A and B are shown apart, each in its own frame.
Chain A
Amino acid sequence: MSVAGLEFALIILILVSAVITAMLRDTLASIIVFGAYSLGMAMLWVVFRAPDVGLTEAVVGAGVMTPLLLLAITKLGREDVERVFAKIRWGPLLGVSVLVVLLLLTVPALPEVGDPDSPTNTHVAPYYIENAYEETGFVNIVTAILVGYRGLDTFGEVTVVFAALVSVLAVLRREELI
């Protein structure tokens, strides 16, 4: 009985709930199972020793997403369905399966987690540590990397957050922020 056993059980829970979320035809049932998916993800983040990500997953995944999706279906309406599960279309399933197998084939080529000789740890990281303070003038190296070297990337993230805010306000039908 080790961490690997718990990881296995949690991954099964997450995979099953993800597939059921996609397959259920009733939107309310789908939202409820999606809540279970989010709970499983948060447990997995804690197993991976990332409590900050686990906390974010708890608050955003379970706390914000479920009420927001419920609000969305109150606006959209929820149709009555006779079938519990959607019909499986075999063509797209085959295509996706082939893609998954092809992507999994590349996994053994990845460097080990925390390997000091991997390309991510030998090229960019030492450069940042040596030159970040002189080149950017920031007092914090994390801020220098996020806003300076990866500025365009961060700008894209801000755009995504802005789009999310606009959609939340549209769902809530609030004109001004309180």
Chain B
Amino acid sequence: MTLTTTALMASAIILAAVGIIALYRATVGPTTQDRVVALNVVGTHAVLVIALLAAVFETHEIIDIAIVYGLLNFLLAIAIAKFSMDRGEVL
């Protein structure tokens, strides 16, 4: 492993570890808004970790998953926000 890939891998590990801290906020809450933002933080970290892995493994197929996750993150936040707003409509 070269110095660059080691640095990229180290940042991926740190991002995954910070996701565990965001999980604490998602668990404790206390409001739904806190949990949704915490889930969004974990989702953004997932996008970043997958993009970093694409750079480490030098494959471009993995980038597609990162893009799909970027879109789904948005969808998740909207679905939960709609649910907590008017109770009964998700789609």
Task: Tell me, rounded to whole Å, the shortest Cβ–Cβ distance linking A43 to chain B.
Answer: 5
B residues 72-86 near A (Cβ < 8 Å) are: 72-73, 75-76, 79-80, 83-84
Which residues on the A side are within 8 Å of B91 (C-beta)?
67, 71
The reply to whether B87 and A17 contact each other, CB–CB distance below 8 Å, is: no
Would you give 9 A-B contacts (Cβ < 8 Å), ordered by A?
A: A6-B9, A20-B27, A28-B80, A29-B29, A58-B65, A59-B72, A62-B43, A62-B72, A74-B83
Q: How far is the CA of A74 from the CA of B80 in the complex (A)?
A: 11
- Interchain nearest-CB distance for B14 vs A (Å): 8
What separation, in Å, do the CA atoms of A131 and B22 have in the docked complex?
53
Chain B residues at the A interface, C-beta cutoff of 8 Å = 1, 6, 9-10, 12-13, 16-17, 19-20, 22-23, 26-29, 32, 35-36, 38-39, 42-43, 45-46, 49-50, 53, 57, 59, 61-62, 64-65, 68-69, 72-73, 75-76, 79-80, 83-84, 87-91
Which residues of chain A are within 8 angstroms of B50 by Cβ–Cβ distance?
A: 42-43, 46, 54
Which residues of chain A come closer than 8 Å to B28, judged between CB atoms? 84
With contacts A1-B13, A36-B23 taken as known, whether A46 is within 8 angstroms of B53 at the C-beta atoms is yes
Residues of A within 8 A of B59 (CB): 51
Size of the chain A interface, CB-CB below 8 angstroms: 39
Chain B residues with Cβ below 8 Å from A163 are none
A70 and B89 CA atoms in complex are apart in Å by: 9
Establish whether residues A62 and B57, one from each chain, have CB atoms under 8 Å apart when the complex forms.
no
